Structure 1
C-alpha cells in the first residue's frame, strides 16, 4: 500500500501544480493525509518509528546537507544584521508561542517543547518551492540562510529543554547537564568528520558523474547509522557538515545531477509520511490551539524580520515577503516532537495534538505562502526544474 500512496502523491502533486498553479508539495501533503489512517489507511500512524522513521531521517539529512552548503558564514561578517534578524524572528516566535501555550493552561514542559518546535522553518518546503520557482535574489538567499539557522537554534534549544525535562522527571542534575553537551558536542564531531570525508571524495570524483551521487548518498546513510548508534540527533550533523563544507570552500558548489532524482523521491516520501502521521483525533484535540499558535508564531517571525529589515539592506516589501516565507513547518518539527515524545510518553498525547495539527495546516498552506511571497518579491521564475544539478552560491 505504501507504493500506492507514493503513486497517489506523485499524481496529486502534478495535478495541483498543473491545474491550480500551486507547489507540488502541497499535493504530496494532501496525498499523505488521504492515504493515512484518517481516510484510506494505506499508511499507519506509526511513521515516527522503525523503517519509516529511517526514511524520514535520511530525507532530512539529504535536504539539510544541501541546505548547509548554501550557507556562507562570511555573509554574517559583511552584514551582521542578517544574523540579528534571524535571532530576533526565532526568539520572538519562541516567546510568543510559549506565552500562549502557558496561558492556555498547559504544563511548562509542553509549552517549552511547542515553543522550541515553533522556531523552525521547514527546509523541505523552502528548498522545494524555491527550486520549482528558480527563485533568486535577496529574499531567497536570506530565506535559505534563516531556515538553516532556525534548525540550528531549535536543535540546540531542544537539547537544553530535554535537559530540563530530565531534571523535572528524574531529578538528576548530572544527566540534565551532560545530555545536551553530549548531543551537541557529538553532533559537531560527526559533522566535522562528514565534511572532511566529503572534501576527500570531491577531490577524486566529478560531482556530475553518477558514482559521485551514489557515494554521497552512501556517505549520508553511513552518517545516519553512526548517529543512530551513538544516539545523537539526526538533524544537526548533516546541516553543520554542509555549512563547514561551504566555509572551507566558498566557491559555488555543483550539486550532483543524479542526486536530484533520488532527492525528489525522498521529498515525496517525507511529505507523504508526515502527512499520514496526522489523525482526526489529533486535529480535534489540537486544531483550534494550533490555529492560535500559527498566528502568533507567524506574527513573531514577521516582526523579527521587519525590526532589522531596513538595517540589513532590504526594503519593506522584501522584509514582509521574507517574514511571511518563514511560515512553513514540517519534517524537522515532526522529528523533534517525535523524539521528545518517545523519551517522555507522558507528554506525547498533548504534544502530538498541538504540533501535528500545526504541521498539517502549514504543510498545506506553507508552500503556497512561500510561493506567493517569492513571487511578490519579484524573485520567481516558475518555468524551472526543481531537480538537482544546480550551483549553490548563497
Structure 2
C-alpha cells in the first residue's frame, strides 16, 4: 500500500513538472493531452487498485483520480485537455454499450420480464411523483424558482423527475465485469438498465415537450421534439441490428484481430451516429444484443471486448471524474444532497413496490434499488439538452443541480451496487 502511495505522489509531481513546460505552440496541444492522459491512467489504475483493500470498486478509484487531477483541483487534465479527449471518451462509452447489449441474454432474463417491467413502471411513477411533490412544496427555497408561478414549478419538477430516473449503464457493466457477477439479481439489474435506457430517452422527450411551454409561458405544447427523438430511436434500433449483422459476419467468416476490428467498427459507428443523429448508446446496445441473442457468437464478442476492458473503464471513469465541475458542486451541495437523498428514497420505494407486486425474490426486493443509483453520460447529455432548451436562470439552475447530484451519485452508485451483489452472493471474483 505504501509503495503505491509513493508511486502515485512521484507520478503526480512528474506530471505537474512536464505539463508546466509549455512551448506556446498550438501544434503541441494534442501531444500534451496524450501525455497527461497517459500519466493520469497510470495514477487512476493505481488508486483503483489501492481502494480494493478497502473493499471499494476500482471504478470509484478511477472517478476519484479524475476529480483529483481534473481542471478544478490539481489541473493536470485541464478543460481544453478534457475536451480534446472527448473522442476517446466516446469510444470507451460505445464499447461499454456494446458490452451491455452483449451481456443481455434474452433466454436468461425472460423469466424475469414481469419483475423487470413492474420495477421500471413503479420506479418511473414514484420517482416522478416524489420530485413533483418535493419541487412544488420546496420551490420558495430554490433560488431560481423563488417567486415563480405554480406552472413554472410544475414544469421544473417534471424535468427533475425525468432526469432522476436515468442511470448509468456504464457503471452497471463495469461492476458486473470487475466482480464477474452473475445470477438472478444481476440479470434483474441488467434487464432494467437496458430497457430503461430506451424508455428514459422517450420519457424525457415527452416531458421536455410538456415542461418547456409551462416554464417559458408559451401557449402551445409542441411535440415536434418528441417526434424527432422517437424517429431517432427507431432508426438507432434498425441500424443497430444491421451493425450486429456486420459484427456477426466478421466473427463468423474472418474472426481474427477481433479487438482491432471492434475498435475500428466503433469509430465508424460513432461517426455514423453523429451524422444521422442516432442515440449512440442505444445503437451499440442493440448491436451487442443482436449478436448475443441471434447467434452463437455472443460469448466470442464479450471475450473480445473484455481483452481490452481495463483501459476502457479506466479512460471512461477517469474522464467522467475530471469532467465533474467541483466548484459548481460546492455552491449547490446542500440542495444537491437533498435531491440525491430523494432519488435514493424514491428509487428504493419504486423498486420495492414493483418487486413485491411481481413476486420478486427477497434479494431483489431488499437490494434491487442499489443497482440503479450511478449516473454518468446519459444524464449529463440530457442535462445539456435541458440547458439548451430552457434558456435563462431556470435552465441553468436545473442543469447545475443535476450535474452536482451526478457527482454524488457517480461516487456512491458503484459502492452500493458492489455491496448488493456481495449480499446476494453473486460475486465470482474475490477482492
Coarse TM-score class (shorter-chain normalised): 0.7 to 0.9
Compared with structure 1, are the counterparts of its residues 130 and 37 closer, same or farther at alpha carbon in structure 2 (3 Å cutoff)?
same
Matched with 1:357 is: 404
Query: How do residues 164-183 of structure 1 correspond to structure 2 at under 5 angstroms?
Result: 164=210, 167=213, 176-183=222-229
Is the Cα contact below 8 Å between 1:135 and 1:380 reproduced in 2? yes
Compared with structure 1, are the counterparts of its residues 357 and 204 closer, same or farther at alpha carbon in structure 2 (3 Å cutoff)?
closer
Matched with 1:294 is: 340
CA deviation profile, 1:7-45 (whole Å, cap 9, x unmatched): 22112111112x212100010110111112221112234
CA separation in 1, counterparts of 2:317 and 2:391? 24
Deviation at 1:126, TM superposition (A): 1.5
Compared with structure 1, are the counterparts of its residues 216 and 194 closer, same or farther at alpha carbon in structure 2 (3 Å cutoff)?
farther
Deviation at 1:100, TM superposition (A): 2.0
Matched with 1:137 is: 183
Q: Which moved more, 1:316-325 or 1:29-38?
A: 316-325
1:367 paired residue among 404, 411, 414: 414
| Larger relative contact order, structure 1 or 2 (CA cutoff 8 Å, min sep 6) | 1
Matched with 1:234 is: 280
Matched with 2:354 is: 308
Matched with 2:70 is: 36
Deviation at 1:165, TM superposition (A): 5.5
Compared with structure 1, are the counterparts of its residues 225 and 149 closer, same or farther at alpha carbon in structure 2 (3 Å cutoff)?
same
Q: What RMSD in Å do the two structures reach over aligned CA positions?
A: 3.0
Is the Cα contact below 8 Å between 1:14 and 1:24 reproduced in 2? yes
Compared with structure 1, are the counterparts of its residues 340 and 246 closer, same or farther at alpha carbon in structure 2 (3 Å cutoff)?
farther
Query: How do residues 78-157 of structure 1 correspond to structure 2 at under 5 angstroms?
Result: 79-105=113-139, 106=145, 107-157=153-203
Deviation at 1:310, TM superposition (A): 4.3
Matched with 1:61 is: 94
TM superposition score normalised by structure 2: 0.78
Q: Please give the secondary structure, in 1, of the residue aligned with 2:280.
A: coil
CA separation in 1, counterparts of 2:112 and 2:410? 34
Is the Cα contact below 8 Å between 1:290 and 1:355 reproduced in 2? yes
Q: Please give the secondary structure, in 2, of the residue aligned with 1:205.
A: helix
TM superposition score normalised by structure 1: 0.85
The structure number with the bigger radius of gyration is 2
Is the Cα contact below 8 Å between 1:208 and 1:257 reproduced in 2? no
CA separation in 2, counterparts of 1:356 and 1:259? 30
CA separation in 1, counterparts of 2:255 and 2:340? 43
CA separation in 2, counterparts of 1:270 and 1:317? 30
Q: Which moved more, 1:142-151 or 1:340-349?
A: 340-349
Higher helix share: 2
CA deviation profile, 1:116-157 (whole Å, cap 9, x unmatched): 221122212211112222111111110111111221121111
Number of residue pairs matched by the alignment: 381
CA separation in 1, counterparts of 2:414 and 2:374? 7
CA separation in 2, counterparts of 1:44 and 1:34? 11
CA separation in 2, counterparts of 1:310 and 1:251? 36
Question: Structure 2 unaligned runs (5+)?
Answer: 1-35, 140-144, 146-152
Q: Please give the secondary structure, in 2, of the residue aligned with 1:104.
A: helix
Matched with 1:264 is: 310
